[in-house]
Amino acid sequence: MLRTVLAGLRAHTRRLVATLIAVVLGVGFVAGTLIFGDTARAGFYDTFARLAQNVDVAVLAPTGSGGQPELLTDAQLAAVRAVPGVAGADGRSSGPLALLDPAGRPITNFSRVGVGLSTDGDPRTRPFDIDGRVPAGPGEAVLDTETASHQRYHTGDTVVVVDAAGARHSYTLVGLIDFGVSKTYSGSTVVGLPAAELAALTGVRGYDEITVTAAGGVAQDVLAGQVQAALGSGPRVSTGDQRRTDLADEATSVATEFTSALLVFGVISLVVAAFVIYNTFAILLAQRIRETALLRCLGATRRQVFTATLAEAALIGTVGAAGGILFGIGVAYALFGLLNDAVHANLPAHAVVVGTGPVLAGLGIGLGVTVVAALLPALRATRTSPLAALRELPTAVVTGRVRRIVRAVAALLAVGAGIAVTVVGSGTSDSQAATFTIVAGGVLAFLGALIAAPLYIGAVTAAVGRPVAAVLGTPAKVAVANARRNPGRTATTTATLMIGIGLIALCSVLLGSLQATAEDQLVGHYPVDYAMAGVRYDNDHQAAIPAAFAQQLRARPEFSGVAQAREGSGQLDGARAVIAAVDPSAYGTLITPATASGTHALDAGTVVVSSANRVTQHLRVGDSVTVTVGPRTQTLTVAGTAPLAIPGIEQIDALVSWDRFTDLAGPGDDTVVLAKAAPQVSATSSRDALDQVATSYPLLEISSIADLTSDLATQINALLALFGGLLGTAVLIALFGIANTLSLSVVERTRESATMRAIGLTRAQLRATLLIEALLMGVVGAVIGIGFGLVYGPLIVRAQFGAVGPIVVVPWGWLAGLVALAAAAAAAAAVLPARRAAKASIGGVWP
Amino acid sequence: MTSATITRPAVAVTGLTKVYGGGDTAVTALDDVSVTFDAGRFTAIMGPSGSGKSTLMHCAAGLDTVTAGTVCLFDAAGAATDLTGLDDTSLTRLRRTRIGFVFQQFNLLPTLTARQNMLLPLDLAGRRADPAWEATVVEVLGLADRLGHTPSQLSGGQQQRVACARAMLPRPDVIFADEPTGNLDSRAGQQVLGFLRHSVRELGQTVVMVTHDPNAAAFADRVVLLADGRLAGDLADPTADSVLDALKNLGA
């Protein structure tokens, strides 16, 4: 029997190429992701050990009551040094420190200033590599290589940092320090200074960590025990080896997250590949029905037929999986490039690691998916009656009524359950649970749509095909008829595209909405051009803007409007909330909330609450609400509700009048200053004027609203490209599926094609019929997939971002492009089968 | 039935040679064959297996290329077109309306209804059927209540009658029939042959039929005999017996 299988495979090699490619692509993606994960992890381990190089015992500061680590003291450092067996111990201290760029503005990362780091201590235990030397005295500093290359600072240059009071201090760079891929300081500037200098600048007194080197012959774990004993409970003491492993594990969790996210896309590709494999076997076995019947006539049992088919599948699965693993190595390389470019993942370079895990997983998955996909067709083949060998081939598939009803009922159940779960999810208030439930509902409903596909695909194809046939005439009519002749086959073929295109559509709705929502939060609804905010030191501390800054701006003719805003975290009816106020000169003119109800006008006794946020959703005009800022609480009346986004303040729950805010929080500096350029003032001159005024305020971050918007668009487009690229594999496999189905159909329709040629179809028209058939499948798959994305995209957006009042965007242009692309790609996939069909001689009319 | 006093050719084959393959494996299927099929006549081509009768028909119908010789197709006005000089697309366009085909395996498109199958060549040519002519053909073939059926819902005889209608509707200059009764029982076969003869005698069509069945050949006005790729005989007004005798002589 095996000989028959091998002979069959040899005879039909060409017909199986597309299936093989589908397996290779599907397995390649998964294996590549796993290989990528291993490689990234290896890279992280290599480079992360550096943070604790030559450290024998590490002491970490205990976590304080607020979740922030408390600092280790000089007394504790002295206690460690006094432990017998300790050769040396150094305290590492760090604190937020603003570094200025050459233009004199602070360099920030998501509004946060960079880090200052002490460089004192044993050179062997430094957490960095250095090019140059460490600062030897006052006036000298080192800088991290990443910042140096961005800002074009070199050894010998002068850099300026600003202390918490706003005073500038200049240093000469005596070296550049490299942290490898450490995520600890990723994206931040790191200035290395002597500990005393750092303490003077940042006010930090104490250490994040104490690193210990052991005297010769003292074991790490013994010493760690002694250090712990000397310090008592509180500080966390670990051996150097343990610390290095912890650091690497912390870092690899990033790689693991990437890998898990990528695996989702890998699984999608596999599912699509499974559809393609299933379809191939279904068609092949249908074509081979006479062969199978002949085998049965000659005495093959049902079991032998079944086993032979599965053996065939297993062979293809194994060969495809082997190819897939090789392909996966390439995929792993590509993923590094893709992630580093598209999302600046900053992954460490490392030679690709191909472990046994990914190889075995790839082989298992390839074999498993192929065999499982072939199960149903194989079972069907066993039902072949020996008599079929003597009969004419069936020309059209007629599905029984009962089967159609069973299918319809199963589909209705799945869709019904999916809709029910979705509705439950939409009503859930917790955004994570809601999103998860809606996605689960979507998967169920999609499954239902897939099950039902053979029932409606013919009608949909006919509907899409009607206008095409009207324009393109007879070949299109024949193409529509061909696409409808075997609804099961067409449904499976288009389902693969449905999945890929549907997910891309979903992502485009999600990301488009994310962009619009974020833009809305950033820009607010107010006609301002610049937003100024103090740099942030940590979650709770932000540099304030002296009121004089706004006054100086108002004096400049380049600006037609300047608004000051104050913000404070407080409570609304006891719930945590952000309360803000806008100065009276701008409120109602430059800054006028577009009220959803009531009025925006405020007096001492009223408050405007956000109409979009969950905290305030229950409040109505006229309600009384207690407002707490700082130590004081007052009861105010709701005057109106409105979306309250102000650029520079992340999320505002309530606005009170300027005077009321002063009553509550006391007089203070501004949180945000907004400026609108005067008409006829160019962007450059308004920016110049702003920079001039800001020279005296080095802790001020200036954002141009236009720049923020375009930055955001760039980021979103990069993400869209990333998702598009990842889902592209699924679409590519789907296209191979279309090519496969068509080329098998061409084989099946040899005589029909020849007849058509004999009675007057030109070669070009014959090619056209196949191209149109593919095009129809492409369009139908894309349209149904996009329809799904359009339903579930907005639902997920609302569930995920309900708290901030999301804006749902449907990128119609992009979606239309997607349909056109799917149609064109499907037609391209049909080029080879069409050429083969047209090449066949007309002599095929005769048996 | 008065026989036409002036005969006009429908297809004229001159010096036709067809060689398959090359070198040592070359097979000469037709060797310098010249024959003319008259318009308004029902001609049968006969001969033993491998005599070249099918090849002659394929070449005469423009379905296959020739190694040497010419194939001329004449329209009603007597203008000749040399099929051997046409490219594939021109040949295909010509086949749509000027040549009809009836195949042994019927060769209807399973996805189309009987009527859609009938109209396919005219559809391809972008022409409409003459309603009166269509009605005549449908009535003569007895297909009026079968037009909406797909081939799988029709019997073999019905399918072959649809194929005949497909060949006739464009009023081609010639209809080629390749063993049209080979897949039919004798009653259905008789019906189809009767119809082909009717279409020649009453409707003025020209039919060239390849067959190996002397009873089928007896429906024709003339039998052309082929053996080993050459013309081997020509019978006018054949009967089953005269055809059988002629075939026996070929073997001798």
DSSP letters for chain B: -PPPSS--EEEEEEEEEEEES-GGG-EEEEEEEEEEEETT-EEEEE-STTSSHHHHHHHHTTSS--SEEEEEEE-TT--EEEGGG--HHHHHHHHHHHEEEE-TT----TTS-HHHHHHHHHHHHT-PPPHHHHHHHHHHHT-GGGTT--GGGS-HHHHHHHHHHHHHTT--SEEEEESTTTTS-HHHHHHHHHHHHHHHHTT---EEEE-S-HHHHTTSSEEEEEETTEEEEEEES--HHHHHHHHHHHH-
A484 vs B contacts (CB less than 8 Å): 111
Minimal CA–CA distance to A437: which of A447, A428, A449?
A428
Q: Which of A244-248, A396-400, A599-603 has the lowest mean pLDDT?
A: A396-400
Q: What is the pLDDT of residue A399?
A: 62
φ, ψ for residue A543, nearest 5 deg: -65, 140
Q: Which domains does chain B have, with CATH numbers?
A: 40-52+94-251 (3.40.50.300)
Which of the four pLDDT bands, split at 50, 70 and 90, describes residue A847? very low
Q: How much is the average pLDDT of A648-658?
A: 84
Tens-place pLDDT, residues A675-706: 999 988 888 899 999 999 998 888 888 888 88
Q: Side by side, which strands form the sheet with A209-214?
A: A86-92, A209-214, A57-60, A236-239
Sign of the four-CA dihedral A309, A310, A313, A314: negative
Which residues on adjacent β-strands are paired with residue A192? A117, A142
Tell me which chain A residues have a C-beta less than 8 angstroms from the C-beta of B58: 843
Q: Are the Cβ atoms of A763 and B92 closer than 8 angstroms?
A: yes
- pTM for the complete prediction? 0.75
pLDDT at A196 over 70: yes
CB contact under 8 A, A843 and B64: yes
Chain B residue with CA closest to A393: the answer is: B152
Query: For residues A594-607, b (16+ Cβ closer than 10 Å) or e, as one string?
Result: ebeebebebeeebb
A80: Cβ–Cβ under 8 A, 6 or more apart, which residues? Answer: A59, A86, A89, A210, A212, A227, A230, A231
A600 pLDDT exceeds 90? no
A485 contacts B125? CB cut-off 8 A: no
Model pLDDT, residue B197: 94
* ipTM, two decimals: 0.81
Question: Confidence class of residue B1 from pLDDT cuts 50, 70 and 90?
Answer: very low
Closest residue in chain A to residue B92, using alpha carbons only: A760
Between the alpha carbon of residue B199 and those of residues A483, A578, A760, B207, B219, the distances in Å are 36, 94, 22, 9, 12
pLDDT category at A396 given cuts 50, 70, 90 is very low
> So what's the pLDDT on residue B208?
96
Q: Does the pLDDT at position A248 exceed 50?
A: yes
In B, which residues are within 8 Å of A843 by CB distance? 58, 63-64
- Cβ atoms A103, A239 nearer than 8 A: no
Q: Is the pLDDT of residue A237 over 70?
A: yes
A658 pLDDT more than 80: yes
Q: Do residue A761 and residue B58 have CB atoms under 8 angstroms apart?
A: no
A804 pLDDT higher than 70: no
A477 interface with B at CB cutoff 8 Å? yes
Output the DSSP codes for A507-535: HHHHHHHHHHHHHHHHHTTS--SEEEEEP
A397 close to B (CB below 8 A): no
Residues B90-120 have pLDDT tens digits of: 888 888 889 999 988 888 888 888 998 999 8
| pLDDT at site A3 | 67
Least confident range of A28-32, A180-184, A575-579, B37-41? A180-184
Q: How high is the pLDDT of residue A322?
A: 93
A469: which chain B residues are within 8 Å (Cβ-Cβ)? Answer: none
pLDDT in tens, A659-674: 999 888 888 889 899 9
Quote the percentage of chain A above a pLDDT of 90: 17
What is the separation, in whole angstroms, between the first and last Cα of chain B? 36
Q: Between the CA atoms of A244, A250, A254 and A260, what dihedral angle is there, to the nearest 10 degrees?
A: 110
> Mean of the pLDDT values across residues A43-70?
75
Nearest residue on chain B to A483, alpha-carbon basis: B111
The alpha-carbon gap from B135 to the nearest alpha carbon of chain A, in Å, equals 21
**Closest residue to A763, CB basis, from B88, B111, B166:** B88
Contact across the interface for B124 and A761, Cβ inside 8 Å: yes
Chain B residues in contact with A458 (beta carbon < 8 A): none
The two structure tokens encoding residue A193: 């200074």
Summary mean pLDDT of chain A: 84
What local confidence, expressed as pLDDT, does residue A50 receive? 67
At residue B107, the pLDDT reads: 85
> What pLDDT, in 10s, does the model give residues B38-79?
999 999 999 888 888 888 998 998 888 899 999 999 998 889
Residues 6 or more apart whose CB falls under 8 angstroms from that of A158 comprise A170, A171, A172, A173
> How confident is the model over B212-250, as pLDDT tens digits?
899 999 999 999 999 999 999 899 999 999 999 988 887
Those residues whose C-beta lies under 8 Å from the C-beta of residue B2, and which sit 6 or more positions away, are none
pLDDT at B190: 92
Between A258 and A723, the higher pLDDT residue: A723
pLDDT tens-digit series, residues A722-763: 788 778 888 888 888 888 888 888 878 888 888 888 888 888
Which of the four pLDDT bands, split at 50, 70 and 90, describes residue B200?
very high
pLDDT, residue A1, reads 59
Q: Tell me the average pLDDT across A635-656.
A: 84
**A146: pLDDT strictly greater than 50:** yes
Res. B4: pLDDT tops 60: no
Per DSSP bridges, beta strands B207-210 and B174-178 are parallel
Please judge whether A485 and B110 are an interchain contact, meaning their C-beta atoms are less than 8 angstroms apart: yes
